[in-house]
Amino acid sequence: MGESWTVRKVWVIGGAAVGLGLSFVMLLVVGVYVVAGNLVNGVASGSRGLAKGAVPAAYKSLVQKWGNLCPALTPALLAAQLYQESGWNPTIVSPADARGIAQFLPSTWATHGIDGNGDGQRNIWDPNDAIPSAASYDCELAKYVKDVPGNVSDNMLAAYNAGAYRVIRAGGVPAISETQDYVKRIRSLSQSFAAPLTRIDPTQQAAGAIAFAQSKLGTPYLWGGEGTADQGGRFDCSGLTQAAYAKVGITLPRVANDQYNAGPHPSRDQLLPGDLVFFSTDRNDSRAIHHVGIYVGGGYMIDAPRTGAVIRFDPIDTVEYFGATRVTEDGAKALPTTI
């Protein structure tokens, strides 16, 4: 009885929204921008803690501990580097023969790898050694560039990418596009791993993303669907959210668990229309996320739920609710293209 009432309630709301059409969208637009005006000074400045579930549980304590190894490093910066390098895959090998979760080259490991877990071995494949080694290497670089003008964390990241000598010679982040992009990418990506300290600025493109999703209400679900003509304009959950943000100029990854890292993570009581909301069977690991929707307010989202259903309004407060992401353009651009 309760389940059928919930479904009926959702469809009543969905039908009303479709009927209201542009009026509903305009209410959302006004709501988002009123909140944006009220929160213009409420951006989170970062934290030395980690956002809930952003780092897989197997590595969270390592990242939290070693990410505080020196003042230039934070757990969020270390997490961003590891995610960028390997996507938390401890067995990956790059075309350049970089190995493991921290993607050390064997030659670099030989001089900078440490025995992080104290078992008498320095194992490039063991995250218990590789994660501490990545933090140790970062902090070594920070010491080399500590007297260089500018932000010491930016200079540390630049040294990681281009070498400490180039940073010292340039008097800061060198004018190398790859290095400048690396620093910006890790800084932006770290916002997705840091636990926010205060309210987070609204996403200005949120209303446009919601309007797109609303225009697809009633469209049948298609697993793997990206809305193409040969697919009959149908979507799956992450295909819908990807297309909604593409409509407003933000490129998201294709898969839901990768979309989670496209910005900072507001708490449940700070959700705003346009936030992506995520669902998982493992509440401690963002890599286990299996579903995503676009929050529209009042505890509801627009989502493409499953085969046999249509794009519709659904409540977000279920036992599998994992968390939310406030998508930012810089956050989306910072995501690795392959993970």
Lowest mean pLDDT among 121-130, 143-152, 197-206, 208-217: 197-206
Paired with 310 in beta bridges are: 220
pLDDT at residue 9 tops 70: no
Confidence at residue 335, expressed as pLDDT on a 0 to 100 scale? 87
Instruction: List, for residues 224-236, the tens digit of each pLDDT value.
Output: 999 999 999 999 9
All domains of the chain, ordered by start, with CATH?
59-193 (1.10.530.10), 204-334 (3.90.1720.10)
- Within 10 angstroms of residue 30's Cβ, the number of other Cβ atoms is 11
pLDDT for the residue numbered 42: 31
Mean pLDDT calculated for residue range 53-66 = 92
- pLDDT of 11 reads 34
Contacts of 59 (CB under 8 A, 6+ apart): 82, 88, 101, 127, 131
- pTM, full prediction: 0.71
Strand 276-280 and strand 321-325: pairing? antiparallel
The string over 286-321, giving b where at least 16 C-beta atoms fall within 10 Å of a residue's C-beta and e elsewhere, is bbbbbbbbbbbbeebbbbbbeeeeebbbbebeeeeb
Instruction: Provide the pLDDT for residue 1.
Output: 33
pLDDT of residue 33: 40
Q: Mean per-residue pLDDT for 318-325?
A: 95
- Which of the pair, 36 or 243, is modelled with greater confidence? 243
**Residues 22-57: tens digit of each pLDDT:** 444 444 444 444 443 333 333 233 345 888 888 888
Strand partners, 292: 278
pLDDT digits (tens, 9 = 90+) for 162-221: 999 999 999 999 999 999 999 999 998 898 898 877 777 777 789 999 999 999 999 999
pLDDT of 62 higher than 90: yes
